[in-house]
Amino acid sequence: MNCYLCSNSSHSKIQDRVRDRDDISVLKCRSCGLVFLDKKDHIDESFYEQGGMGKSFKLDNITSATDYSDTQKRFKLYNKFFSKKRILDFGCGQGSLLRKIKMSGIPAELFALEPNKNHQKTLKKEFTVYSCIDEIPDESLDVITLFHVLEHIEDPVSVLNLLYPKLAKKGKLIIEVPSSNDALLHLYGCEAFAEFTYWSCHLYLFDPETLRALLEKTVFKINCIKQYQRYSLANHLHWLAKAKPAGHIEWSFMDDEILQAQYEKKLAEIGQCDSLVAIVEK
């Protein structure tokens, strides 16, 4: 199997299964470092339409608490880009970020792109909803956000290039993806986390170099690529003590804004945050 980014055929196996499938291995390209699954054909167009991601992820109360905290943080980080803009959240799920922007009173036009048919029904009550990129009129948007979307897509370069004409001049993409250099893997060597984090839906995992290489293959201009820590120190301590997810909820009494900011700063310095953010422009 050749690497999606550099076409090299030499890779190492870093995990011989993923959390929901014994027959899928995780590989790492020996040339560019891209982390990818050895199978992709389990994800087709209908997979996300039918809510396939939810079926392999059964942590509902934790998922919704995580969605809430993700939404608060994303709004705080990116609301400076939202005022008087036409904003589309690509793969918006239930639409928490769009709803947060709406409730904040920021003047903005809000659009949703979500393949999941169930989510579409609810979203249509509040937003303009697209089920695929083809439905979006050209130059009709100023900002497109893609939070934890790119790693699910078989050909992310093509999808990003399809979004380019949908943006007006100087339009932006805000992209967040999980990082393949997560401290739980590379610093702490937490085996339970490795068994949990590799998942059949994440076809690729990027580091800053492979994310840059991917974005350089698109027609966009790269504005920045940054380290970003999505999960809290409590989540990490819980993994190390209990070998289980959801520490950010179970031990949320440990939350402290200053402590978290310092922890994120330190992880960013050593390049081992759990996520990466890229902003690219037309």
Name the one residue in this structure whose structure tokens are 């422009």. 281
Q: Confirm or reject binding of residue 101 to Zn ion (CB under 5 A).
A: no
Q: Confirm or reject binding of residue 190 to Zn ion (CB under 5 A).
A: no
Question: Based on CB atoms, which residue is closest to Zn ion, 2 or 158?
Answer: 2
Question: Based on CB atoms, which residue is closest to Zn ion, 6 or 254?
Answer: 6
Query: Smallest gap, in angstroms, from Cβ of residue 28 to Zn ion?
Result: 9
- Partnered with residue 177 across adjacent β-strands are 276
Whole-number Cα distances in Å, 227 to 5, 6, 24, 272, 281: 21, 23, 28, 8, 19
Query: Smallest gap, in angstroms, from Cβ of residue 158 to Zn ion?
Result: 17
Query: Smallest gap, in angstroms, from Cβ of residue 79 to Zn ion?
Result: 36
Question: Based on CB atoms, which residue is closest to Zn ion, 133 or 213?
Answer: 213
Determine how β-strand 26-29 pairs with β-strand 35-37.
antiparallel
Contact 20, 199 (CB under 8 A): yes
Q: Confirm or reject binding of residue 2 to Zn ion (CB under 5 A).
A: no
Question: Based on CB atoms, which residue is closest to Zn ion, 4 or 199?
Answer: 4
Question: Based on CB atoms, which residue is closest to Zn ion, 32 or 222?
Answer: 32
Q: Which of residues 6-65 bind Zn ion (CB under 5 A)?
A: 6, 8, 29, 31-32, 34
Query: Smallest gap, in angstroms, from Cβ of residue 27 to Zn ion?
Result: 10
Q: Confirm or reject binding of residue 214 to Zn ion (CB under 5 A).
A: no
Q: Which ranges of the chain does DSSP label H, i.e. alpha helix?
A: 45-49, 52-55, 60-78, 96-104, 117-123, 156-163, 183-186, 191-197, 208-216, 233-242, 247-250, 257-269
Query: Smallest gap, in angstroms, from Cβ of residue 61 to Zn ion?
Result: 38
Q: Which of residues 106-165 bind Zn ion (CB under 5 A)?
A: none
For 132-137, the CB contacts below 8 A with 24+ separation are 133/159, 133/162, 133/163, 133/166, 136/88, 136/111, 136/166, 137/166
Query: Smallest gap, in angstroms, from Cβ of residue 213 to Zn ion?
Result: 8
Q: Which residues bind Zn ion (CB under 5 A)?
A: 3, 5-6, 8, 29, 31-32, 34
